[in-house]
Amino acid sequence: MSIALPTPTYLTVRAPAKINLHLGVGAARADGYHGLYTVYTSIGLYDDVTVAEATDTSIRIQPAEYVDVAQVPLAPGTNIVHAAADKLADLHGVQVTADVLIDKQIPVAGGLAGGSADGAAALVALDRLFDLETPDADLLRLAGELGSDVPFALLGGTAVGTGRGELVEPVADPGTWWWVVVPSPDGMSTPEVYRHFDELSPDAAPEPPRAEELLAALAGDDVHGVAAALRNDLQPAAVDLRPQLGDLIARGEEAGALRGLVSGSGPTCVFLCGDSDHARAVAAELGAEHDVVLVANGPVAGAHVVEYS
Ligand code: C5P
């Protein structure tokens, strides 16, 4: 039986931030991207994208107090939401234009894939608003064209990413992981961090390192095993470009976190803790020195509708 639902007049799709539990980076490929073997996990820190039909696309941002909207590219042709609308319009041969409001909780240019979350949320939201019924395989392909991290934001949960990160495969992760998240007021450029990785690692192997121990610890709900296996090959480059990040990681571990690491290309640092009380205690210590210290857990769902009218 199928139930025909009316096409909505507006809807809101929520998409999560990501952390790379393992970011294995291979040598630069001929196309300039780096081959990755990464293990993404999602955390309960979200952007909500609300769309309503309009004759042109316009984007407004409603930022959390710690989010610097000045760093969000908003001009037509520069925001990932415009790109998502254009990709759906090309695929289906229809006009896809909307008023878009982004309720932004994910720090910008922080290594948490906030832009990618907006791209994934926009794909799902516009697909539903225009009743396009895009097959999942096509949504994942368009997401991969929008950016390496966008397919994971569609999927959520915990997943291995290969290729340049866009080929995602869910993995077993029955646990709940508690994180302290410390954003930085100044973003970092992902291409710049990758360039510095190339300078620091001229002999990187083409095949990125894999993550067997981490995957076994995730499947076994073993937080100490996960802590021991966390790895980010971009961290030396990010810390070399911004040495304060090394100090912050050391402070978080002194405060009792099981492990700290740079998230993706940085500069956000994340600290794995044993449970929610532990995370709140570490956050309280780091909060004495940093204006913004968040606590989040995961894994959580990928891009999904939360409001519909
Ligand atoms: O795919 P995305 O647009 O997020 O990538 C941003 C930039 O990060 C790329 O232009 C590239 O410089 C770098 N990158 C890379 N290798 C990857 C992913 C991203 O070199 N696997």
Q: Per-residue pLDDT for 7 more than 90?
A: no
Identify the CA nearest to 159 among candidates 198, 204, 120, 105. Answer: 120
Ligand 1: centre distance to CA 87 (Å): 19
- Measured from the Cα of 149, ligand 1's closest atom is 4
Instruction: Give residue-wise pLDDT tens across range 28-69.
Output: 999 999 999 999 999 999 999 999 999 999 999 999 999 998
147 lines ligand 1 (CB under 6 A): yes
Bond prior to 236 in cis (omega within 30° of 0) = no
Q: Per-residue pLDDT for 175 more than 70?
A: yes
Question: pTM of the prediction?
Answer: 0.96
Q: Per-residue pLDDT for 5 more than 70?
A: no
CA angle 11, 42, 67 (to 5 degrees): 65
Q: How confident is the model at residue 77, as a pLDDT?
A: 79
High-pLDDT (> 70) share of the chain, %? 98
Q: Which residues are catalytic?
A: 18, 149
Q: How confident is the model at residue 208, as a pLDDT?
A: 98
308 lines ligand 1 (CB under 6 A): no
Instruction: Give residue-wise pLDDT tens across range 101-128.
Output: 999 999 998 999 999 999 999 999 999 9
* Half-sphere exposure of residue 245: CA atoms within 13 angstroms, side-chain side: 29
| Distance in angstroms (rounded) separating the CA atoms of residues 84 and 71 | 19
Instruction: Give residue-wise pLDDT tens across range 184-213.
Output: 989 899 999 999 999 999 999 999 999 999
149 lines ligand 1 (CB under 6 A): yes
| Distance in angstroms (rounded) separating the CA atoms of residues 209 and 230 | 13
Q: Per-residue pLDDT for 81 more than 90?
A: yes
Q: Per-residue pLDDT for 3 more than 80?
A: no
- Measured from the Cα of 35, ligand 1's closest atom is 21
Per-residue confidence at 136, pLDDT binned at 50, 70, 90? very high
184 lines ligand 1 (CB under 6 A): no
Q: How confident is the model at residue 2, as a pLDDT?
A: 63
Q: Whose CA is nearest to atom 19 of ligand 1?
A: 33
| Distance in angstroms (rounded) separating the CA atoms of residues 207 and 284 | 40
Ligand 1: centre distance to CA 36 (Å): 10
Q: How confident is the model at residue 73, as a pLDDT?
A: 86
Ligand 1: centre distance to CA 264 (Å): 11
167 lines ligand 1 (CB under 6 A): no
Average pLDDT, the chain: 96
34 lines ligand 1 (CB under 6 A): yes
